[in-house]
């Protein structure tokens, strides 16, 4: 009984911290952007921060179950969904910032960017997958979908590969940072190799 109350308190504190840190950093970023405090290229700074933020949160959400398994911290699984939701939120701010500041909501220019630039094409596919995972993460939809829910949610591994590729292709010269992200992504996928193999066989 005491352990359950303590676990609930830990989960509550973790959720509060995730909400606070994620929202505070976003609010600070846009406050600085709109007050000219982001240096010579504020658009690049905003795209960088939101893009890396979305990728970090995606990796963190995928780190939760290996950590929970390894250390028997099953309570961690209760914050996985929230981290995933914030990954999508950051990706959405990344996309909206691109639409607003890079293409000024010129939809035909945006379409051309998706067609002409492979790194934007894969980024768009990743956003679509993260969007589908976000809207189906609601408990009532999860229940209605039954076994199909897990099949769909395994698409997070495809999203991870697309985001890693997007990052790698988006940089012009220094490939060290995206390469480190690729190594971390491959490691997280390797930890799930059996699950991913079973998922492929199910098609």
Residues of this chain that interact with ligand HEM (CB under 6 A) are: 44, 47-48, 51-52, 54-55, 58, 91, 94-95, 98, 102, 120, 123-124, 126-127, 163, 166-167, 170
For the CB of residue 25, give the shortest distance to ligand HEM in the complex, in Å. 15
Which of 7, 136 has the CB closer to ligand HEM?
136
Residue nearest to ligand HEM (CB): 51
Which of 75, 168 has the CB closer to ligand HEM?
168
For the CB of residue 203, give the shortest distance to ligand HEM in the complex, in Å. 24
Buried b (16+ CB within 10 A) or exposed e, 63-73: bbbeebeeeee
For the CB of residue 198, give the shortest distance to ligand HEM in the complex, in Å. 25
For the CB of residue 90, give the shortest distance to ligand HEM in the complex, in Å. 7
Question: What is d(CA 149, CA 143) in angstroms, rounded to the nearest whole number?
Answer: 8
Question: What is d(CA 125, CA 148) in angstroms, rounded to the nearest whole number?
Answer: 20
Which of 10, 182 has the CB closer to ligand HEM?
182
Question: What is d(CA 67, CA 104) in angstroms, rounded to the nearest whole number?
Answer: 42
Which of 76, 94 has the CB closer to ligand HEM?
94
Helix ranges, 72-155 (H):
77-97, 107-116, 118-135, 139-145, 147-153
Which of 11, 18 has the CB closer to ligand HEM?
18
Which of 23, 100 has the CB closer to ligand HEM?
100
For the CB of residue 29, give the shortest distance to ligand HEM in the complex, in Å. 13
For the CB of residue 53, give the shortest distance to ligand HEM in the complex, in Å. 8
CB 156 within 8 A of CB 62: yes
Residue 42: C-alpha distances to residues 30, 48, 51, 102, 166 (Å) = 10, 10, 14, 11, 21
Q: Is 106 left (phi over 0), alpha (psi -120 to 50) or beta?
A: beta
State the sign of the Cα–Cα–Cα–Cα dihedral 37, 43, 45, 49.
positive
């Amino acid at each position: 009984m005491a352990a359950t109350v303590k676990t609930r308190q830990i989960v509550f504190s973790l959720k509060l911290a995730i909400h606070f840190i994620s929202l505070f950093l976003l609010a600070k970023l846009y406050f600085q952007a709109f007050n000219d405090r982001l240096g010579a290229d504020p658009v690049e700074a905003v795209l960088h921060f939101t893009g890396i933020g979305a990728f970090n949160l995606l990796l963190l959400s995928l780190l939760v179950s290996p950590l929970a398994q390894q250390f028997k911290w099953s309570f961690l699984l209760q914050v996985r969904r929230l981290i995933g939701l914030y990954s999508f939120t950051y990706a959405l701010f990344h996309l909206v910032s691109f639409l607003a500041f890079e293409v000024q909501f010129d939809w035909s220019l945006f379409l051309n960017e998706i067609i002409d630039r492979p790194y934007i094409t894969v980024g768009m596919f990743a956003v679509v997958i993260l969007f589908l995972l976000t809207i189906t993460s609601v408990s009532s939809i999860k229940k209605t979908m039954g076994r199909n829910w897990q099949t769909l949610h395994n698409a997070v591994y495809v999203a991870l590969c697309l985001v890693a590729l997007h990052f790698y292709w988006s940089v012009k010269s220094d490939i060290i940072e995206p390469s480190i992200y690729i190594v971390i992504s491959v490691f997280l996928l390797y930890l799930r190799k059996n699950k991913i193999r079973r998922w492929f066989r199910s098609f």
